Structure 1
Amino acid sequence: MVNKRVARAVVTMAKQLRREIVAEGVETIEQMSFLRDLGCDQLQGYLFSQPVGAAGLERMLREGKRLAVTGRQATLAP
């Protein structure tokens, strides 16, 4: 798959430059696993949460929300 080849190339280049790697737009467990296996340092996208404002983020942090991954689904859980 072309996208996987591009991702591998970008991650390889970033690692050689000793840069932190943030993958954006992660929507599936498969994408998350692939990107983690490549060595991405941070992941973000709809798999983890829809965009939230400052108040929503503060509430999530106060409630101790954590990402729970089960099977092929990810949900925010206390």
Structure 2
Amino acid sequence: MSEDVRATIRDFITGNFPDLALKDDEDIFELGFVNSLFAMQLVMFIEKTFSLRVPNQELRLDSFRTIDSMAKLVERLSSDAQISTG
């Protein structure tokens, strides 16, 4: 898993919550600071930053709970995009 992808996602989250010291495997929903509006901002950030479209079937909490799960999502969607255009 690319550290660059995790770092980019981490920077976005901590940019919105500067006092947060977040580990890559911590559940951001369980921590209680994420609401539905920020969840949608995360989706839009990932789509724009990584030039991806997150399909409806991936719009579930488990895909966005942790930095690690979001990085896996980005890598999976990036891989799928390369396969379909390659």
More contact order relative to length (CA 8 Å, sep ≥ 6): 2
TM-score, length-scaled by structure 1: 0.24
Could you say which structure has the larger radius of gyration?
Answer: 1
TM-score, length-scaled by structure 2: 0.23
* Structure 1 or 2: more strand by fraction: 1
